[in-house]
A = this chain, B = another copy of it.
């Protein structure tokens, strides 16, 4: 067994970091910066102490690699602190589009059994590591402590290196790999051969917004399933029904936060609390897996999101003018807790009581907050052909609907939860006014169905009567051989955004689908095109018709063109699930004359190239 080099000098606490020029680095670099002293920049402001990394997630299922971070918006830089509890020969840390290890942007700490090095690197399609021509992960400190090795480094959101990942709003797929043997040079590392590696999804760019003060009379309620025996399987969704006291009056939820059983931080992946339908007088008690056949049917009515938390998320605060109504005659007394346990090591015997702590007040705030769903109607009319890498579907909340249903001063969207099923990869909602896209409500370019958070917006978005909300999703069906239709099943698809806003209005759903008559024209056309017989399949269900389409680049391309062209049917619905009065069928697609321009990717020119090669790390 190779000895653990990093642990052999536990008494040496803080050492200097000097840049090291590997003999493999072109001579050109060597001449430029031979063994210059790298000044360790002291972390700015609050970032100096470990306690000043406000966000934290474990990267691995054991929680032996902890990532903490802080965001400096003025500098456009993220400060990372990685705690490696049991370091052997190094750590690969990085980011990639969807968590791939090929083509990833990496910060690497490795040992050649004599010295340790740190470098900004990238992996090629074969998993081989290469030094970046520009070093953008900048090591600030490496410190041995009783808990393990602390690595502190920073990275700009955007670098000018085309090999680098651009850190954007929304989900970031963070990857890690633990090196278990020495490597003489960086390029000797083949990341695919490393056993101990994985990914963690996280929102790195947390919004930098002021938090409303909690009222003095705030009360809290823990919604937790007591003493759940976590099944020894990778994925469990645990369902638990609890209830409010009878005649519990209306309150405002003003904040909620996770309550995680100690030691389970790496296993409790996300938690949601749903309210049941107000129509049911009673809901049966239940505590068990959500997909169990023993689960009472009536629990399916408990689908109104009250609170949602996912790994890495901080407490959720409502804006100071608004609270989420809870209690009283208009809402159900029954709450469904859903906890997603992610237990890939199939650990046995763990008992968990994680949940969500709701903070609420009887002193109602000025406004009720509401949740409005925009995007696509759940319908098989909206389908994705098989074998697609980025098929887009778009749902509209039209000017006619916002004009009909919103108050004159409009509404303020302060948070948003994007939602698709398994095939969704990119989700966005954009606000258009008078034919011009003027503002992004929420966008996630690396969306995963496995990481759904209610995200506070960096800036509230005001939606006025007459505005249009355009929700688009990209889907990847490369590995599917059959069509994917819209619907409720996890293998069907959705494309929606649950927008949290105030003041609450009666508009609960503002979604669209393509006019179904146009879909019949499509089936006709494709059938005629592929054979000269006239097909008479219009009597079948849409899903069956879709299943009979011979999928190829033509039938797929025509469907895409049709979705971008055909008129729509609008669901502009009250909370009672009844449409607002008006003509909602065969509506024209909202015309967008001016598309949103892509945000400026303003590269941060390297002020001074501190280091051109790996940095020698003395721990």
Give the interface of A toward B (CB within 8 A): 32, 133-134, 160-162, 521, 524-525, 528-529, 552-554, 556-558, 560-562, 564-566, 600-603, 605-609, 612
Given contacts A561-B558, A564-B557, contact A133 B603 (CB under 8 A): yes
Is there an interface contact between B557 and A557, defined as CB atoms closer than 8 Å? yes
Inter-subunit contact A565/B554 (CB<8 Å): yes
Q: In whole Å, how far is A565's beta carbon from the nearest beta carbon of chain B?
A: 4
Among A565, A600, A608, find the residue whose CB has the most chain B CB atoms closer than 10 A.
A565
CA distance A605 to B601 in the complex (A): 17
A603 touches which of B161, B564, B608, B612 (Cβ 8 Å): B161
Q: How many copies does the complex hold?
A: 2
Q: Among A554, A564, A566, which residue has the most Cβ atoms of chain B within 10 A?
A: A554
A564 to chain B, nearest CB (A): 5
Partner of A564 from the list B161, B162, B553 (CB cut-off 8 Å) is: B553
Q: A521 CB to closest chain B CB, in angstroms?
A: 6
* From B162, B524, B609, contact of A606 by CB (8 A): B609
Q: Which of chain B's residues have a CB closer than 8 A to the CB of A162?
A: 160, 600-603
The answer on a CB contact under 8 Å between A557 and B565 is yes
Inter-chain CA distance A605–B524, complex, in Å, is 56
Instruction: Find chain B residues with CB under 8 A from A133 CB.
Output: 602-603, 605
CA distance A602 to B552 in the complex (A): 36
Set of chain B residues within 8 Å of A525, measured between Cβ atoms? 525, 528-529
- For A525, A554, A605, which residue has the most chain B Cβ atoms within 10 angstroms? A605
Q: Which residue of B lies closest to A600 (CB)?
A: B162
Report the Cα distance A134→B159, complex, angstroms. Answer: 13
Q: Across the interface, do A32 and B565 meet the contact criterion of CB distance under 8 Å?
A: no
Which single member of B528, B558, B605, B609 contacts A607 (CB below 8 Å)? B609
Contact residue among B524, B558, B601, B609 (Cβ-Cβ distance under 8 Å from A558): B558
Contact B557 A553 (CB under 8 A): no
Of the candidates B521, B564, B600, the one whose C-beta lies within 8 Å of that of A529 is: B521
On chain B, the residues within 8 Å of A566 by CB distance are: 554
Contacts of A556 in B (CB 8 A): 561
Whether B605 contacts A606 by the Cβ 8 Å rule is yes
CA of A444 to CA of B552, assembled, Å: 30
CA distance A93 to B477 in the complex (A): 48
Looking across the interface, which residue of chain B has its beta carbon closest to that of A589?
B553
**Chain B proximity of A393: nearest CB distance (Å):** 15
Chain B residues lying within 8 Å of A562, measured Cβ to Cβ, are 554
18 sampled A-B residue pairs with Cβ under 8 A: A134-B603, A161-B603, A161-B605, A521-B529, A524-B528, A525-B525, A552-B565, A553-B561, A554-B561, A556-B561, A557-B558, A557-B560, A557-B561, A557-B564, A558-B558, A560-B561, A561-B561, A606-B609
**Contact pick for A605, options B134, B552, B557, CB 8 Å:** B134
CB distance from A607 to the nearest CB of B (A): 6
Shortest C-beta distance, A395 to chain B (Å), equals 18
Assembled-state Cα–Cα distance A603/B564 (Å) = 37
Smallest beta-carbon distance A161→chain B, Å: 6
* Nearest-neighbor residue (CB-CB) of A524 within chain B: B528
Chain B residues with Cβ below 8 Å from A606 are: 605-606, 609
9 closest cross-chain pairs (CB), A and B: A557-B561, A160-B160, A554-B565, A134-B605, A553-B565, A554-B561, A162-B601, A558-B558, A525-B525
By beta carbon, the residue of chain B nearest A29 is: B607
Separation of A525 and B532 alpha carbons in the complex (Å):
12
User: With A and B bound together, what is the CA distance between A521 and B531 in angstroms?
Assistant: 11
Taking a contact as CB atoms under 8 Å apart, the answer to whether B605 and A608 are in contact is no
CA distance A133 to B607 in the complex (A): 11
CA distance A161 to B525 in the complex (A): 48
Q: Chain B residues near A160: list those with CB within 8 A.
A: 134, 160-162, 603, 605
Closest to A133 in B: B605
A161-B603, A162-B603 given; 20 more Cβ-contact pairs under 8 Å: A133-B602, A134-B603, A134-B605, A160-B160, A160-B162, A160-B605, A161-B605, A162-B600, A524-B528, A553-B564, A554-B565, A554-B566, A557-B557, A557-B558, A557-B564, A557-B565, A558-B558, A605-B609, A606-B606, A606-B609
* Measured CA separation A606–B604 after assembly (Å): 12
CB-based nearest B residue for A162: B601
| Measured CA separation A161–B601 after assembly (Å) | 9
A566 nearest CB neighbor, chain B only: B554
What residue of chain B has the Cβ atom nearest to residue A604's Cβ? B133
Q: Which residues of B contact A607 (CB under 8 A)?
A: 32, 609
Chain B residues closer than 8 Å to A32, beta-carbon distance: 607
Contacts of A521 in B (CB 8 A): 529
Task: Collect the chain B residues with CB atoms within 8 Å of residue A529's CB.
Answer: 521, 525
In the bound complex, what is the Cα–Cα distance between A524 and B527 (angstroms)?
Answer: 13
- Nearest Cβ distance between residue A555 and chain B, in whole angstroms? 8
* Residues of chain B within 8 A of A557, CB atoms compared: 557-558, 560-561, 564-565
